[in-house]
């Protein structure tokens, strides 16, 4: 497993954990606007980094079939 794959999965896992925190705070009615704005900014940054990683891998690797799927998913999620 390459480092870009590990980074991609780790960033996605971090975004998932932040989303779960948002859901629990919403359910407990303690979600503040600052936390919501900060979490959205973090998740948007992580999404752009994942997109950048997939673009770099797409341009540098010869196996482009797998990378094009990642690019399509990233663009769809953004």
Rounded distance between C-alpha atoms, residue 25 and residue 33, angstroms: 11
Q: What is the pLDDT of residue 33?
A: 92
Q: What is the pLDDT of residue 66?
A: 62
Structural domain boundaries enclosing 13: 3-77
C-alpha to C-alpha distances, 77 to 12, 24, 34, 45, 50, nearest whole angstrom: 12, 22, 23, 13, 11
pTM: 0.78
Q: What is the pLDDT of residue 60?
A: 82
pLDDT (tens place) for every residue of the chain, 78 residues total: 578 788 888 998 999 999 999 999 999 999 899 999 999 999 999 989 988 888 888 788 766 666 667 677 777 777
The packing angle between helices 33-60 and 64-77, to 10°, is 160
| Contact (CB, 8 A) for 49 and 11 | yes
| Contact (CB, 8 A) for 55 and 72 | no
Q: How many domains does the chain have?
A: 1
Q: What is the pLDDT of residue 30?
A: 93
């Amino acid at each position: 497993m390459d480092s870009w794959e590990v980074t991609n999965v780790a960033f996605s896992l971090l975004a998932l954990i932040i989303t779960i925190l948002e859901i629990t705070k919403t359910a407990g009615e303690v979600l503040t606007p600052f936390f919501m704005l900060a979490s959205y900014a973090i998740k948007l940054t992580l999404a752009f980094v994942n997109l950048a990683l997939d673009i770099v891998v797409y341009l540098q690797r010869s196996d482009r079939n797998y990378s094009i799927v990642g690019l399509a998913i990233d663009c769809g999620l953004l």
